[in-house]
Amino acid sequence: MRTVGITVVGLLLLLAGGALLGGCGEKSQRVSSDGPTSFAVQNAIFSDVLEVTLAVQSQSGGRPALSWKATEQPYVIAAIFTNNVQIDKQSNSVSNTAEIVWLWHNGLQTGRDGAVKFSDGFDPRREAEGLYTLRPEYDPASLAPGTYVIALWALDRNGEPVAASREVVLTVD
């Protein structure tokens, strides 16, 4: 059984523009094309928003659980990336969405603002298979061994970012 080791490199991000992947703030610079880097210590993706402290609980088998103080915002999103989060300043959105391997938002009616289990989310890369809705027969595959970046953000009713965490680096053994 694999053990999930966690290195907190920061907290996560906040995005705007659409209830899922719009954003605002400075563009995050990827330090390495080989995956997340420990040089991104406490990398704040967005500025001028309430900072949310994200806790990642280690779970066996590459299935972390996330918790944070509830934001009480209408749109809350958490994502696991294979690389540092990238924000395009012109479009004000996440530019590396293809690197998202797990996604949760409060519209899924699983988990809650403040706490989610890995099984509460889904792998957006499997959307073409029709597995983006949370059906009982679908449980997202565990994360493969490697290093990931976790991000969390909240939007107000207008889709504007109001809260975000810093990036958290997660290592799955």
C-alpha distances (whole Å) from 85 to each of 45, 70, 88, 112 are 7, 22, 10, 23
115: β partners: 67, 112
Q: Residue 60's pLDDT is what?
A: 73
The pair of structure tokens assigned to 17 is: 């523009």
**Bridge partner residues of 169 (DSSP):** 7, 149
Average pLDDT, rounded, for the chain: 73
pLDDT reading at 119 higher than 70: yes
Domains of the chain plus CATH, in order, are 4-172 (2.60.40.10)
d(CA 17, CA 38): 29
- DSSP alpha helix (H) spans, 18-167: none
Q: What is the percentage of the chain residues whose pLDDT exceeds 90? A: 37
Q: Give the whole-angstrom CA distance, residue 6 versus residue 64.
A: 10
**For residues 135-156, average pLDDT:** 82
